[in-house]
């Protein structure tokens, strides 16, 4: 059985620019990358170049590939040209003759052809403007409502974010964005898939192995253990006339795959070998990494009078609170992302404490490298189908294009153990609600749905679940995000996008505790990227042109009304220094406070069996597709923002929480003031008597009880004096896999007092989880004379931080432009008198360290900005702070 694959990557590719053929520098390719490499356009990410490059998306672009196939000793081989993906309206010609027309970026094409060995063949790929096509479709089928991007995008099966989003530029690229190759074979394996079932008691895994072939009649199946040993040898599958065959493998005591927060990620390898009695020497082999696990989305009533149903995941029978993040494409031009980029990103998610990434519906079905990294590093994947923020059409050609897309993409992805959920769309139900489209949950007849003003319900509740049932029945399906309660904002059922902080009612972030839900799949707060990242897109500009409200900074923030919102939240809460480092620091501190508040409180609602009141929280968003100000917690250049560190502390296996709650007298006695958790900004003229009490709790994600001592200390912020009367130690046992309430309504002080709570190991009092509650808003507190000191260890692998008075947001950095390879073990710290916070650091080498904290900007002569450090001071000199 002979098979040969010729990846045309190394063939001679060129593209046409103003009647000239220029060599391509990328394969797979997107046209902007070629124009950039050929020096024909400036960097679309720099300055405001994006504006001037819109002409690219309006034009037609042609690629040419010249290639030869070698002479072989085999007769009668089938020859097929394979296009894994063409973005989007493409006409393909082979030696001048049209062989393909494609209109969906996510379709794969296999075109049988006659190629002559030794002769130069020419492929010509013409991409016409997706904008023009989309507008023609819009004209034919009518305008439809949407959020984000050009309205024509709803008719075009192309990555929605290419049309621009509230965090991304409009860069309508095109090209052969996935592999192009020639396959020659007598027979080939089309696919092999193992649908894995693990029994309830986890003792046995059954692999339902399906093979599909084209030519050839016997497929030999082998299974290798994670250690590389052959566990199942040579099970033969005879394929039928339809090319399909199946077999079952039963494995006793399987090594199970877990998300990283619960355990290890052993990967078996399934190997399928197509053989033929007539030509035993050469074969076609396919391998699949296999993780054996039982993954279920659980939606069942809660106990203890809690309303509604849960929304949580059980992996290998273990119910888990799933912290995570939403994932968008990591570049506007994904062809330039390497496997290493994907590994780094998934690593950032893992190190940041995230157990799930939601591949959001406005991006792409991700690259193989992304899912492989998730399989290997133990990250659960929630996979949206690509529908986002729109009222999609349902004319027959559109539906059949979608059906083919979804079946092909799920066929490609279904064997990844990381994928635990397929979801129908992003926010299309929310938009339908806003538009008051017809939606009768009682009407279960899909034919009727097509006649309503919300025909796309057919897609999410009929077409897509049928595709999943057909191709990947072992993966759970959820019709939309958000979806599932009585409406999309129902906190007691389904998942929820909590945007009443930032969008919606623009509530103070301090009210997050009251805004949770059964599973919060989006919520977020913006922050500027690191000053070095800002420098990367402004480096051609003079210093005077780059300031927080400059045109270029506004251009690099695509969110509607961002000035009012980011500005509003900042004015409400913090003081800041009006320059780029000051702005970056303050917005990041704001974001870090907002997001960690949400995680701290929502994780507390994972209260054990029958009380899974919040089953998971995904932050919008992990990453960016270009350098900008957005909701991302890690910027485009992979620099973690402060929030990445503060979220990580909330998501550690064991975390601790403390809150102050206002109580006041009313006609019915003393009661908690609604939403007044940790105080709120913006309540002027309220001089009523109030009492402040304190609650504390801890969260334990491990499956064992943990003994600890809760230590509570209180300090006056301005003077730094400890208030010994409020000092407390309490022995506690933290229940496994849930939160535990520790202190309930103990009397507390409010004004100018910060509480620091730590969990200490009973053996040696070593702190292993800490948190603090500061009076709000921060802008009202004064932070003079903190005297922050840094001591760098002689081997330069750690920095010890101390402070004379309680200090907020201590941010360690290196001096200068070059921070490559520098990795801080922790950052954005709250430091209290007497603490010696040892922060590990990788890759520091000879670089100088600088520090900033909340308030340091106002101690005028004691500030060290990234770009501003006095020379020749000893490392631990006090003046250095
Ligand atoms: C969401 C997402 C995106 C958007 C984000 C921020 O709800 O689904 O569409 O980018 O909010 O507005």
Q: Nearest to residue 532, comparing CAs of 637, 624, 632?
A: 637
Q: What is the DSSP letter of 636?
A: T
Q: Please state the atom number of ligand 1 nearest to the C-alpha of residue 631.
A: 6
Output the pLDDT for position 686: 64
Give the separation between CA 588 and CA 639, rounded to whole angstroms: 12
Q: Is 325 in the pocket of ligand 1 (CB under 6 A)?
A: no
Q: Is 497 in the pocket of ligand 1 (CB under 6 A)?
A: yes
Give the separation between CA 541 and CA 42, rounded to whole angstroms: 14
- Give the list of residues 6+ apart from residue 258 with CB closer than 8 angstroms, or none: 264, 265, 293, 315, 316, 378
pLDDT in tens, 556-615: 999 999 999 999 999 999 999 999 999 999 999 999 999 999 999 999 999 999 999 999
User: For the chain, which domains are there?
Assistant: 3-184 (2.60.120.260), 187-290 (2.60.40.10), 654-780 (2.60.40), 789-867 (2.60.40.10)
Higher-pLDDT residue of 276, 762: 762
Our measurement of the distance from residue 47's CA atom to the centroid of its chain's CA atoms, rounded to an integer in Å, reads 26
Q: Nearest to residue 171, comparing CAs of 83, 358, 41?
A: 41
**For the whole model, what pTM was predicted?**
0.95
637: CA distance to ligand 1 center in Å?
21
Q: Is 326 in the pocket of ligand 1 (CB under 6 A)?
A: no
The band of 670, judged by pLDDT with boundaries at 50, 70 and 90, is: low
Closest CA to ligand 1's atom 10: 166
Query: Would the pLDDT of 69 be above 60?
Result: yes
Handedness of CA 854, 857, 861, 866 (dihedral sign): positive
Query: Would the pLDDT of 671 be above 70?
Result: no
The band of 861, judged by pLDDT with boundaries at 50, 70 and 90, is: very low
pLDDT in tens, 795-811: 999 999 999 999 999 99
* DSSP-assigned letters across all residues of 207-259: EEEEEEEES-SEEEEEEE-TTS-EEEEEEEEE--TTSEEEEEEEEESPPPP--
Q: Is 327 in the pocket of ligand 1 (CB under 6 A)?
A: no
Q: Nearest to residue 345, comparing CAs of 367, 361, 363, 365?
A: 367
Closest CA to ligand 1's atom 8: 426
Output the pLDDT for position 829: 98
The band of 448, judged by pLDDT with boundaries at 50, 70 and 90, is: very high
Choice among 50, 427, 593, 659 that is catalytic: 427
Output the pLDDT for position 6: 84
166: CA distance to ligand 1 center in Å?
7
- Region 322-338: what's the mean pLDDT? 98
Output the pLDDT for position 871: 38
Query: Would the pLDDT of 73 be above 90?
Result: no
Q: Is 426 in the pocket of ligand 1 (CB under 6 A)?
A: yes
- Region 113-125: what's the mean pLDDT? 96
Q: Please state the atom number of ligand 1 nearest to the C-alpha of residue 430.
A: 7
- Region 366-391: what's the mean pLDDT? 98
Output the pLDDT for position 409: 98
Q: Could you tell me the two tokens for 8? A: 């045309």
Q: Could you tell me the two tokens for 633? A: 């917690």
The band of 410, judged by pLDDT with boundaries at 50, 70 and 90, is: very high
- Region 23-28: what's the mean pLDDT? 96
* DSSP-assigned letters across all residues of 283-352: -EEEEEEE----EEEE--B-STT--SB--EEEETTEEE-EEEEEE--S-SSGGG--HHHHHHHHHHHHHT
516: CA distance to ligand 1 center in Å?
17
Q: Please state the atom number of ligand 1 nearest to the C-alpha of residue 503.
A: 12
Residue burial 294-303, b: 16+ Cβ < 10 Å; e: rest: bbebebeebe
Q: Is 392 in the pocket of ligand 1 (CB under 6 A)?
A: no
pLDDT in tens, 684-742: 556 667 788 999 999 999 999 999 999 999 999 999 999 999 999 999 999 999 999 99
Q: Is 425 in the pocket of ligand 1 (CB under 6 A)?
A: no
Q: Could you tell me the two tokens for 619? A: 């932050």
Q: Is 384 in the pocket of ligand 1 (CB under 6 A)?
A: no
484: CA distance to ligand 1 center in Å?
19
Q: Please state the atom number of ligand 1 nearest to the C-alpha of residue 427.
A: 8
Identify whether 718 is preceded by a cis peptide bond (ω within 30 of 0).
no
pLDDT in tens, 47-57: 999 999 999 99
- Region 241-254: what's the mean pLDDT? 96
- Region 457-464: what's the mean pLDDT? 98
The band of 864, judged by pLDDT with boundaries at 50, 70 and 90, is: very low
Instruction: Return the best residue to mutate from 427, 482, 595 for the ligand 1 pocket (most ligand atoms within 8 A of CB).
Output: 427
525: CA distance to ligand 1 center in Å?
11
* Percentage above 90 pLDDT, the chain: 88
Give the separation between CA 435 and CA 439, rounded to whole angstroms: 11
Active site residue 227: no
20: CA distance to ligand 1 center in Å?
41
Output the pLDDT for position 632: 98
147: CA distance to ligand 1 center in Å?
9
Q: Is 537 in the pocket of ligand 1 (CB under 6 A)?
A: no
Q: Could you tell me the two tokens for 328? A: 């968008």
Q: Is 522 in the pocket of ligand 1 (CB under 6 A)?
A: yes
Output the pLDDT for position 690: 76
Identify whether 864 is preceded by a cis peptide bond (ω within 30 of 0).
no
The band of 394, judged by pLDDT with boundaries at 50, 70 and 90, is: very high
Helices and strands in the chain: count of H runs, count of E runs = 16, 43
562: CA distance to ligand 1 center in Å?
13
Q: What three-state secondary structure class fits 875?
A: coil
Q: Are 412 and 356 in contact (CB under 8 A)?
A: no
Q: Are 739 and 605 in contact (CB under 8 A)?
A: yes
Per residue, what are the HEC states of 245-276?
Answer: EEEEEEEECCCCCCCCCCCCCCCEEEEEEEEC
Q: Is 167 in the pocket of ligand 1 (CB under 6 A)?
A: yes
The band of 281, judged by pLDDT with boundaries at 50, 70 and 90, is: low
Q: Is 650 in the pocket of ligand 1 (CB under 6 A)?
A: no
- Region 536-556: what's the mean pLDDT? 96
Output the pLDDT for position 878: 43
Q: What three-state secondary structure class fits 36?
A: helix
Q: Nearest to residue 170, comparing CAs of 55, 75, 255?
A: 55
Residues in the chain: 881
CA angle 470, 472, 475 (to 5 degrees): 130
Give the separation between CA 25 and CA 36, rounded to whole angstroms: 10
- Region 233-246: what's the mean pLDDT? 92
Q: Are 807 and 852 in contact (CB under 8 A)?
A: no
Higher-pLDDT residue of 658, 682: 658
Q: Nearest to residue 658, comparing CAs of 508, 805, 775, 800?
A: 775
Output the pLDDT for position 376: 98
Q: Please state the atom number of ligand 1 nearest to the C-alpha of residue 497.
A: 7
Q: Is 427 in the pocket of ligand 1 (CB under 6 A)?
A: yes
The band of 283, judged by pLDDT with boundaries at 50, 70 and 90, is: confident
Instruction: Return the best residue to mutate from 168, 358, 389 for the ligand 1 pocket (most ligand atoms within 8 A of CB).
Output: 389
What strands lie across the sheet with 419-423, from one edge to the other? 476-478, 419-423, 380-384, 356-359, 322-327, 616-619, 520-522, 496-497
Give the separation between CA 788 and CA 833, rounded to whole angstroms: 10
Q: Is 166 in the pocket of ligand 1 (CB under 6 A)?
A: yes
Q: Please state the atom number of ligand 1 nearest to the C-alpha of residue 362.
A: 9
Measured between its terminal Cα atoms, the distance across the chain in Å is 72
Q: Is 585 in the pocket of ligand 1 (CB under 6 A)?
A: no
Q: How far is CA 703 from CA 23, 670, 708, in A?
A: 58, 38, 16
Output the pLDDT for position 278: 67
CB count within 10 Å of CB 863 equals 19
Higher-pLDDT residue of 785, 650: 650
- Strand 20-23 versus strand 204-214 pairing type: unpaired
Closest CA to ligand 1's atom 6: 166
Kindly report the average pLDDT of the chain as a whole number: 93
What strands lie across the sheet with 823-824, from one edge to the other? 789-792, 798-802, 837-842, 823-824
Query: Would the pLDDT of 668 be above 90?
Result: no
Closest CA to ligand 1's atom 4: 166
Instruction: Return the best residue to mutate from 489, 496, 500, 522 for the ligand 1 pocket (most ligand atoms within 8 A of CB).
Output: 522
């Amino acid at each position: 059985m002979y098979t040969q694959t010729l990846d045309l990557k190394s063939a001679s590719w060129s593209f046409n620019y103003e009647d000239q053929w220029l060599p391509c520098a990328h394969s797979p390719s997107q046209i902007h990358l070629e124009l950039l490499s050929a020096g024909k356009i400036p960097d679309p990410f720099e300055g405001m170049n994006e504006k001037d490059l819109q002409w690219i998306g309006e034009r037609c672009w042609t690629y040419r590939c010249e290639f030869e196939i070698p002479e072989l000793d085999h007769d009668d081989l089938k020859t097929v040209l394979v296009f894994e993906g063409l973005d989007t309206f493409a006409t393909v010609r082979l030696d001048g003759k049209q062989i393909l027309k494609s209109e969906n970026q996510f379709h794969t094409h296999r075109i049988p052809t006659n190629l002559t060995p030794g002769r130069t063949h020419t492929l010509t790929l013409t991409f016409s403007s997706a904008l023009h096509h989309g507008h023609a479709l819009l004209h034919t089928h009518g305008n439809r409502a949407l959020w984000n991007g050009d309205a024509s995008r709803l008719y075009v099966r192309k990555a929605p974010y290419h049309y621009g989003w509230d965090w991304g530029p409009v860069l309508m690229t095109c090209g052969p964005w996935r592999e192009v190759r020639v396959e020659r074979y007598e027979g080939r394996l089309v696919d092999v898939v193992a649908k894995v079932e693990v029994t309830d008691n986890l003792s046995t895994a059954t692999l339902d192995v399906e093979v599909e072939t084209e030519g050839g009649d016997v497929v030999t199946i082998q299974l290798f253990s994670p250690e590389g040993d052959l566990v199942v040898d040579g099970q033969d599958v005879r394929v039928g006339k339809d090319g399909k065959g199946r077999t079952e493998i039963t494995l006793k005591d399987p090594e199970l795959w877990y998300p990283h927060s619960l355990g290890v990620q052993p990967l078996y390898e399934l190997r399928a070998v197509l053989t033929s009695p007539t030509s035993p020497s050469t074969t076609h082999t396919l391998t699949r990494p296999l993780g054996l696990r039982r993954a279920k989305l659980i939606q069942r009533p809660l106990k203890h009078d809690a309303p509604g149903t849960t929304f949580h995941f059980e992996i290998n029978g273990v119910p888990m609170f799933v912290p995570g993040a939403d994932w968008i494409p990591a570049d506007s031009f994904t062809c330039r992302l390497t496997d290493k980029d994907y590994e780094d990103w998934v690593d950032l998610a893992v190190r940041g404490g995230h157990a799930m990434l939601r591949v959001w519906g406005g991006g792409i079905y991700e690259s193989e490298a992304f899912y492989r990294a998730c399989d290997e590093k133990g990250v659960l994947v929630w996979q949206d189908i690509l529908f986002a923020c729109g009222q999609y059409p349902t004319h027959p050609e559109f539906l059949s294009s979608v059906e083919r897309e979804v079946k092909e993409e799920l066929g490609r992805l279904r064997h990844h153990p990381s994928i635990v959920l397929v979801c129908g769309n992003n926010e299309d139900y929310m938009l339908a609600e806003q538009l008051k489209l017809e939606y009768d949950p009682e009407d279960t007849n899909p034919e009727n749905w097509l006649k309503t003003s919300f025909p796309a319900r057919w897609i999410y509740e009929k077409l897509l679940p049928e595709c999943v049932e057909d191709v990947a029945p072992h993966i759970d399906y959820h019709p939309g995000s958000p979806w599932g309660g009585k409406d999309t904002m129902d906190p007691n059922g389904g998942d929820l996008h909590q945007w009443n902080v930032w969008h919606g009612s623009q509530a103070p972030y301090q009210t997050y505790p009251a805004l949770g839900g059964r599973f919060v799949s989006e919520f977020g707060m913006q922050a500027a990227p690191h000053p070095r990242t800002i420098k990367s897109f402004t480096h051609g500009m003079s210093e005077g042109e780059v300031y927080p409200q400059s045109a270029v900074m506004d251009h690099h923030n695509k969110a509607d009304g961002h000035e009012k919102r980011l500005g509003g939240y900042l004015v409400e809460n913090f003081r800041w220094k009006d320059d780029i480092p000051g702005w970056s620091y303050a917005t990041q501190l704001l974001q870090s406070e907002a997001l960690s508040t949400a995680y701290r409180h929502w994780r507390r609602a994972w209260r054990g069996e029958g009380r899974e009141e919040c089953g998971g929280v995904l932050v919008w968003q992990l990453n960016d597709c270009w350098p900008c100000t957005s909701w991302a917690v890690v910027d485009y250049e992979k620099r973690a923002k402060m929030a990445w560190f503060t979220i990580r502390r909330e998501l550690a296996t064991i975390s601790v929480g403390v809150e102050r709650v206002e109580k006041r007298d009313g006609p019915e006695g003393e009661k908690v003031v609604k939403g007044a958790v940790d105080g709120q900004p913006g309540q002027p003229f309220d001089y009523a008597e109030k009492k402040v009490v304190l609650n504390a709790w801890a969260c334990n994600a491990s499956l064992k009880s943990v003994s600890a001592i809760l230590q509570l200390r209180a300090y006056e912020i301005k003077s730094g004096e400890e208030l010994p009367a409020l000092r407390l130690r309490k022995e506690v046992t933290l229940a496994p896999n849930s939160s535990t309430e520790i202190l309930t309504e103990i009397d507390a002080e409010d004004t100018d007092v910060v509480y620091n709570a730590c969990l200490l190991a009973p053996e040696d009092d070593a702190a292993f989880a800490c948190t603090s509650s500061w009076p709000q808003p921060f802008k009202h507190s004064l932070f003079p004379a903190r005297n922050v000191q840094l001591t760098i260890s002689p081997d330069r692998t750690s920095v010890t931080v101390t402070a004379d008075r309680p200090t907020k947001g201590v941010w360690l950095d290196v001096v200068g432009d070059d921070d490559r390879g520098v990795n801080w073990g922790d950052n954005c710290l709250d430091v209290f008198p007497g603490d010696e916070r040892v922060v590990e650091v990788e890759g520091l080498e000879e670089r100088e360290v600088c520090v900033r904290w909340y308030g340091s900007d106002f101690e005028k002569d004691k500030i060290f900005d990234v770009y501003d450090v006095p020379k020749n001071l000893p490392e631990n000199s006090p003046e250095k702070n």
